[in-house]
Amino acid sequence: MAAVKPLYVGGLVVALIAGFGLGKFVTPTPSAGTPPVTDPNATHSHAPLATAGSEVGGLSISAGGFTLVPTGQNAFVIKGSDGKPVTKFATVYDKQMHLVLVRRDLTGYQHLHPAMAADGTWTFNGQFPSPGLWRAFADCTVVTPTGAQTALTLGWDITIDGNYAAQALPAAARESTVDGQTVTYEGTPVVGATSPLLFRVPNVQLEPYLGAFGHLVVLRQGDLGYVHVHPETQLSGGAVKFWFAAPSPGIYRMFFDYQVAGVVHTAQFTLTVA
């Protein structure tokens, strides 16, 4: 295999008109018969309820007057419109920064939490185990000098040199096996309205992880439009209950993080939305 050599490419994909944005909070429209759920974290769209937005998150390296600047393979800063690094971030679901790494064929998923130095530089311990084009998503809420909060999801590409062979996505299925545990989900997402998704891990005791019983990242095949959803605060019949509005028809990969006995597991599913 050729030596690994990083190259950074700004994510310059045009956002869709109809989509799903983590960085913009809009009160969702539940499907018929589904009552809305009060959001105790409304200052940020990391909420115990899916939120329907007007654009997909993570498609650009710059948004809302802020720009992400890579400073190394595993480091970056976020600069404001004045060109200075931002050094103040809100803590959302126990962390100031949620970072997701995934190869563009939707393999190699990692959900990380970088550390920030005093100068605003974030560093992370993610690995790039295979060559190819990787996408990184920095998911955070910046705090301005006036105290205003702006939720952001900024994405950028990292190219790892070597012999690359894309992997085909597994067929859509409602069951996934991870670390000897079988995970299933119920629900059928539709475009334009929130609907429930319930994830079950039978015969285990789910534990809170980052302030919730689970976390769900959904990535759209093609442009890797990003959705990060958090569940209702309580289990529903033993299941972790999310609310999700599909941004558009297409094929998606869902990554469900959950914790058992102090260990975090990730179940992966392919989802087709008609």
* pTM score: 0.82
Q: List C-alpha distances in Å: 22 to 44, 58, 83, 110.
A: 8, 8, 24, 18
- Summarize the confidence of residues 7-26 as an average pLDDT: 33
| pLDDT reading at 91 higher than 50 | yes
| pLDDT reading at 48 higher than 70 | no
What's the CA gap between 13 and 15, in Å, rounded?
A: 6
Residues 6 or more apart from 125 whose CB is under 8 A from it?
A: 74, 112
Predicted confidence at residue 62, as pLDDT, reads 97
- Summarize the confidence of residues 96-114 as an average pLDDT: 98
Predicted confidence at residue 14, as pLDDT, reads 29
Average pLDDT, the chain: 84
pLDDT-derived band at 39 (thresholds 50, 70, 90) equals very low
Predicted confidence at residue 55, as pLDDT, reads 52
The percent of residues in the chain predicted with pLDDT above 70, rounded, is 80
The percent of residues in the chain predicted with pLDDT above 90, rounded, is 76
Specify burial of residue 18 (Cβ count, 10 A radius: 0-12, 13-18, 19+). middle
pLDDT in tens, 198-250: 999 999 999 999 999 999 999 999 999 999 998 999 999 999 999 999 999 99
pLDDT-derived band at 116 (thresholds 50, 70, 90) equals very high
Domains, the chain, in order of start with CATH, read 6-40+54-160 (no CATH), 175-273 (2.60.40.10)
Predicted confidence at residue 52, as pLDDT, reads 36
Q: What residue ranges in the chain does DSSP mark as E strands?
A: 6-10, 62-63, 66-72, 75-79, 97-103, 110-112, 115-116, 122-123, 132-143, 149-160, 175-178, 181-186, 195-200, 206-207, 215-220, 226-229, 240-244, 250-260, 263-273
Token pair listed for 65: 């007057």
What's the CA gap between 166 and 156, in Å, rounded?
A: 19
Predicted confidence at residue 192, as pLDDT, reads 86
| pLDDT reading at 89 higher than 50 | yes
Token pair listed for 171: 């067929």
| pLDDT reading at 82 higher than 80 | yes
pLDDT in tens, 126-160: 999 999 999 999 999 999 889 999 999 999 999 99
| pLDDT reading at 41 higher than 50 | no
